[in-house]
């Protein structure tokens, strides 16, 4: 403060009592680190007009009401729409009616709650900015000492250390009570049973080209090519096609027999044609990238890489185990399975063992 009683960083035309009415007008020419203050608060229409405030109130209430209706619609769609119903939605195309209804209603419910909360905060809640000095977060030494003393005294009075039976049984109760929530997971759907372990491949099932829908002959598989196959009898117009192909999808490559390193793989092949599951053992993505010089296949989701010349083993990426190989043979000039997969296809699951 100067000898005249004025603040040195306040212009002469602004008196100390008037500074709060001219926030943001403080000069920083002499002191570049001076507090510039806050700009003058501008009132919103809702602050000065009760009719505008009521309109905002009705808008927020309407958004919350739409969210309630959407939630009821979600429950109704879950109960009423069959899981296998397919509808055409422009411009998406043919999709599951249940998935579309659930996504639309749940999205609308969540969006309306968020939009209502934001509109409420921006139009009705106070928007006056308040500046405050930053204070130390930690407590004073006297407060810390008192809290520690109170805690120690409470521990002694509770006899937590002495009464071991109470302490141990309390720990047991706290550890077991979450299991009641785990049991509720049983109602999420029927247990999978053994269907994750089995596929439609078995002895005598022919390999069908997934693109041409024709049975495959050995001469159809060229060296260095990648061919996708499915079991004979599995058609795309079947209701459970997607569920079955998710386990049955097969990829075939032809390798020079002398380039096959794994003895079991060579024994399960036919003239260098090897058949492996197309489903990545990481999270179940379909493998579609093949490098014929190295005989490596790459999963496009997380870059797990498998060597098809060495038992389909993992050579890079997060996949946990090798790709399952299908034992194939030839009968009447057509490729067919000599047995089912020796292990479950796709990613690991908790009860796989």
Whether residues 118 and 145 fall in one domain = no
Burial 243-266, CB ≥16 within 10 A → b, else e: eebebbbbbbbbbeeeebebeebb
- Is 152 found in the same domain as 210? no
* Residue where one domain finishes, among candidates 59, 93, 124: 124
d(CA 251, CA 234): 16
Residue 165 and residue 76 share a domain: no
Asked if residue 25 has pLDDT above 70, the reply is no
The separation between CA 309 and the C-alpha centre of its own chain, rounded to angstroms, equals 34
CATH of the domain at 298: 2.102.10.10
| Average pLDDT over every residue of 244-248 | 92
Distance CA(24)–CA(34), nearest Å, equals 11
Residue 21 counted as domain residue: no
The verdict on 80 and 145 lying in the same domain is no
pLDDT in tens, 248-307: 999 999 999 999 999 999 999 999 999 999 999 999 999 989 998 999 999 999 999 999
Whether residue 151 is found in the same domain as residue 268:
no
Q: Are residues 211 and 326 in the same domain?
A: yes
**What average pLDDT does range 49-60 have in this prediction?**
92
18, two tokens? 């008037």
Its domain, for residue 110, covers 50-124
Query: What pTM did the predictor assign?
Result: 0.52
Same domain, 60 and 150: no
Give the model confidence (pLDDT) of 109-143 as tens digits: 999 999 999 999 988 888 888 777 777 888 889 99
Rounded CA gap, 259 and 243, in Å?
A: 35
């Amino acid at each position: 403060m100067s000898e005249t009683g004025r603040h040195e960083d306040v212009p002469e035309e602004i008196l100390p009592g008037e500074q709060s009415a001219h926030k943001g007008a403080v000069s920083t020419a002499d002191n570049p680190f001076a507090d510039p203050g806050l700009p003058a608060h501008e009132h919103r229409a809702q602050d000065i007009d009760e009719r505008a405030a009521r309109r905002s109130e009705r808008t927020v209430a309407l958004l919350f009401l739409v969210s309630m209706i959407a939630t009821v619609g979600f429950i109704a769609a879950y109960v009423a729409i069959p899981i296998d119903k397919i509808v055409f939605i422009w411009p998406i195309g043919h999709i599951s009616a249940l998935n579309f209804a659930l996504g639309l209603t749940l999205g609308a419910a969540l969006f309306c709650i968020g939009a209502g909360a934001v509109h409420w905060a921006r139009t009705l809640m106070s928007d006056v900015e308040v500046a405050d000095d930053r204070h130390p977060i930690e407590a004073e030494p006297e407060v810390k000492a008192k809290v520690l003393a109170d805690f120690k005294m409470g521990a002694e009075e509770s006899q937590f250390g002495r009464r071991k039976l109470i302490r141990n049984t309390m720990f047991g109760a706290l550890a077991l009570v979450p299991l009641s929530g785990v049991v509720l997971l049983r109602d999420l759907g029927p247990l999978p049973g053994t269907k994750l372990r089995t596929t439609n491949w078995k002895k005598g099932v022919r390999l069908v080209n997934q693109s041409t829908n024709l049975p495959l002959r050995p001469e159809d598989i060229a060296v260095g090519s990648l061919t996708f196959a499915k079991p004979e009898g599995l058609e795309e117009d079947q209701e459970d096609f997607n569920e079955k192909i998710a386990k049955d999808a097969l990829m075939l490559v032809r390798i020079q027999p002398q380039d096959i390193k794994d003895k079991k793989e060579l024994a399960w092949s036919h003239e260098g044609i090897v058949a492996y599951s197309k489903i990545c053992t990481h999270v179940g993505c379909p493998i579609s990238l093949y490098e014929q010089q190295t005989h490596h296949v790459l999963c496009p989701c997380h870059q797990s890489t498998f060597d098809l010349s060495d038992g389909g083993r993992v050579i890079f990426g997060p996949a946990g185990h090798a790709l399952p190989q299908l034992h194939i043979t030839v009968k009447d000039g057509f490729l067919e399975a000599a047995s089912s997969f020796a292990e479950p296809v796709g990613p690991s699951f908790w009860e796989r063992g």
